[in-house]
Amino acid sequence: MATATFNVSSDKTRQAFHLTGERGWINDPNGLIYYGGKYHAFYQYHPYSTQWGPMHWGHAESKDLVKWKYLPIALYPDKEYDKDGCFSGTAITVGNRLYVMYTGVKADGGGRAAHQVQCLAYSDDGIHFFKHENNPVIKSEQIPDGYSPFDFRDPKVFEYNGSYYCMIASRKIGGGGRFLVYKSDDLVNWTFRKDLFGSDIPGGDMTECPDCSVKDNLMLCCMQFVNDGRLGNRNVHTALYATGKNITQDDFTPIDYGFDFYAPQTFSDGKDLYMIAWMQMWDRNIPSVKFGWAGGMTLPRKLEVKDGKLLQKPCDLSAYCGRTDDISRESIDGAVRLSGECYVLRLTADKAARFRLEMKKSENKCVSLELDPDRKELVFSRANSGEIIIGVEKDEDSLSFVRRMPLENDNVDITVIADRFSVEIFAEGKTLSATVCPPMGADGIELSGELKNFRLVKNELKSD
């Protein structure tokens, strides 16, 4: 009998606590759902190489959101209507049956344009999936006039007031990104209802991956080819959110301040609302390809919507916490030095004039996080962190390998989750997520600066 494989591993060439593919390439999380007493994560998957290719849906399940067991590939691009890829989508349960809706992609007779249609698959055991005989359940002919049949993807399916709704990223021909809403009583027969906002989502070329939690008045989406500095985190593709009962196309603002955060989806286990995103970015080099994998997920984050803001916290990692270092002092005398490769690090202080936290430090490399007191910003840099990761962004911060996150409060309360190839920073409910590729064994941690009544607690994360 084959033994199960899990993401949590002591292999130094892999992430230890973040979901990645078993091999090859992955992008967007898909169909995140709590089903049969377990969390299920599907993802855009090309198992045959570390490059994007015809998309499959990879699949993993977890009891605790940290350790994921790999399951067989859930969807292969093996039908006429999805032969060029099973693109992103979402999941819903009806009774004991798990349904996923995804985009089937079919290139046009060798041409570049690929028709995108919406398809349904179901499973009664959460492992084996069957594509519905009526696929595609939303065909090109059901797209209203004036919208592109080649940009029509990433269905978000949800139930509201006893009906099913499906929200699909689309593009007005000659215009920008929209969301088209369809309604159904049975998930199979869909009728077009409306263009959600009736006008383009401003700030970029095309929208992708809509998501929502109706209960929490929360909507997420992504913007491709951002052309508006207002959307602010400087990534050429960015993930956005809006809150409220009457969201408009102008309300979207970036979710994360880091380099690597895209295509987030929310899901609930009936108690808490969570979010997972692809912790990677299009149009960048990915150093981990030399280890046979590309792309991974953020740590699942617990969400709260408060005063119109989306607040994020890391999921519970306590079961994986080992040795603790706990240092508190009135002020830093010189520098505080610790070591570790995978850890949760929490820095609190009554007041910070300035500080610099170096992580994944070797003799001449480190990932750094500084407080810029004049601009009241945390400044994250991967400039000298190891292998260069560079994209197509041409602004000054990107060319200096820097990302910034504003801070509102005078007291400091920052949590860092470090894995082998990533650093995620949480402060004031905001996040900054970045991949890194430090030299093997770079495990130094060093804090310096002027901090009043500070405490630095490091919990080592154990992978075996």
Nearer to ligand FRU, 18 or 153 (CB): 153
Q: Tell me if residue 417 falls in helix, strand or coil.
A: strand
Spell out, one character per residue from 12 to 51, where the chain touches ligand FRU: x when CB under 6 A holds, - when not. ---------------xx---------------x-------
Nearer to ligand FRU, 85 or 444 (CB): 85
Q: At closest approach, how far in Å is the CB of 174 from ligand FRU?
A: 20
Nearer to ligand FRU, 25 or 99 (CB): 25
Q: At closest approach, how far in Å is the CB of 322 from ligand FRU?
A: 35
Sign of CA dihedral 307, 309, 310, 313: negative
Q: Could you say which residues in the range 308-337 bind ligand FRU, by CB under 6 A?
A: none
**Nearest residue to 392 (alpha-carbon basis) of 263, 222, 237, 233:** 237
Q: Which of 32, 55, 416, 434 binds ligand FRU (CB under 6 A)?
A: 55
Q: Decide if 211 is catalytic.
A: no
Q: DSSP letter string over 320-388?
A: GEEEEEEEEESS--SEEEEE-SSEEEEEEEEEEEEEEEEEEE-SS--EEEEEETTTTEEEEE-TTSSS-
Q: Which of 22, 61, 208, 393 binds ligand FRU (CB under 6 A)?
A: 208
Question: Which residues, at least 6 apart from 139, have a Cβ–Cβ distance to it below 8 Å?
Answer: 117
Q: What's the one-letter identity of residue 327?
A: I
Of all residues in the shown chain, the one whose CB is closest to ligand FRU is: 87
Contact present, 102 and 87 (Cβ < 8 Å): yes
Q: At closest approach, how far in Å is the CB of 464 from ligand FRU?
A: 32
Nearer to ligand FRU, 152 or 320 (CB): 152
Q: Could you say which residues in the range 143-202 bind ligand FRU, by CB under 6 A?
A: 153-154
**Nearest residue to 220 (alpha-carbon basis) of 264, 279, 259:** 264
Contact present, 285 and 392 (Cβ < 8 Å): no
Nearer to ligand FRU, 27 or 235 (CB): 27
Sign of CA dihedral 113, 134, 26, 312: positive
Strands 24-35 and 293-294, by their bridges, are parallel
**Nearest residue to 368 (alpha-carbon basis) of 378, 382, 354, 355:** 382
* Residues facing residue 24 across a β-bridge: 293
Q: At closest approach, how far in Å is the CB of 105 from ligand FRU?
A: 8
Give the number of other Cβ atoms within 10 Å of residue 162's Cβ.
Answer: 6
Q: Could you say which residues in the range 225-264 bind ligand FRU, by CB under 6 A?
A: 262-263
Q: Which of 7, 20, 50, 88 binds ligand FRU (CB under 6 A)?
A: 88
Q: Is 211 in the site for ligand FRU (CB under 6 A)?
A: no
Question: Which residues, at least 6 apart from 183, have a Cβ–Cβ distance to it below 8 Å?
Answer: 163, 164, 165, 166, 190, 191, 193
Nearer to ligand FRU, 89 or 340 (CB): 89
CA 45/CA 21 separation, integer angstroms: 7
CA 349/CA 68 separation, integer angstroms: 35
Q: Which of 7, 90, 103, 312 binds ligand FRU (CB under 6 A)?
A: 103
Q: Which of 209, 332, 345, 436 binds ligand FRU (CB under 6 A)?
A: 209
Q: At closest approach, how far in Å is the CB of 82 from ligand FRU?
A: 12
Q: Which of 17, 42, 45, 87 binds ligand FRU (CB under 6 A)?
A: 87
Output the six-digit token pair for 433. 């997520």
Q: Is 90 in the site for ligand FRU (CB under 6 A)?
A: no
Q: Could you say which residues in the range 262-291 bind ligand FRU, by CB under 6 A?
A: 262-263
Q: Is 118 in the site for ligand FRU (CB under 6 A)?
A: no
Q: At closest approach, how far in Å is the CB of 112 from ligand FRU?
A: 15
**Nearest residue to 461 (alpha-carbon basis) of 427, 399, 415:** 415
Place of tokens 């890829």: 85
Nearer to ligand FRU, 210 or 314 (CB): 210
Nearer to ligand FRU, 154 or 256 (CB): 154
Q: How many binding residues for ligand FRU (CB under 6 A)? A: 13
From the list 11, 28, 333, 413, the catalytic residue is 28
Q: Is 344 in the site for ligand FRU (CB under 6 A)?
A: no
Catalytic residues: 28
Footprint of ligand FRU (CB under 6 A):
27-28, 44, 55, 87-88, 103, 153-154, 208-209, 262-263
